[in-house]
Amino acid sequence: MLLAMSYRAMGDRFHERLAQVGLEPLRPAHGYVFRFLAEKRATAQDLATHLGVTKQAAAKIVNELVEWRYVLREPHPTDKRAQYVTLTTKGRDYLRFADGMWADLEGEMAEIIGPERLDALKNDLKRYLDHTGVHHLRPVW
């Protein structure tokens, strides 16, 4: 429970800072889409499966991100009904920005618990994730 509460606390602090910067009203679901698209382009169905939501819910998220110019749609080469979604330059810039904010939050944690303890915690968590086979960030609704 402490890990879940810590993740929530960091996520809340991240979104508070994001609101202060004055960007679009990005929500955690958007962040999961950014992370997924950082690795590859995807269809709305791919995103729905990854997020654990309906295709319609994924399409709504994609529509918002298209409107804010973080992603764009491209024709699917073999399925005329489907479209690929990819990050734009603005989307990739946002990911770098978000990574910097997460690094700042980790820095705050290092100040509180000490950098050696944070490194040990990160190593222990990596060992646990390797053991479980979980290697991608996915939402838990």
pLDDT score for 136: 83
Is the torsion defined by CA of 65, 70, 71, 72 positive or negative? positive
pLDDT score for 120: 97
pLDDT score for 43: 95
pLDDT at position 140 over 80:
no
pLDDT grade for 137, boundaries at 50, 70 and 90: confident
pTM of the model: 0.86
pLDDT at position 107 over 80:
yes
pLDDT score for 135: 85
CATH C-level class of 2-132? mainly alpha
Q: What is the pLDDT of residues 35-82, one digit of tens each?
A: 999 989 999 999 999 999 999 999 999 999 999 999 999 999 898 888
Average pLDDT, the chain: 94
Each residue of 10-28: b (16+ CB within 10 Å) or e?
Answer: eeeebbeebeeeeeeebee
The structural domains of the chain, with segments of one domain joined by +, span 2-132
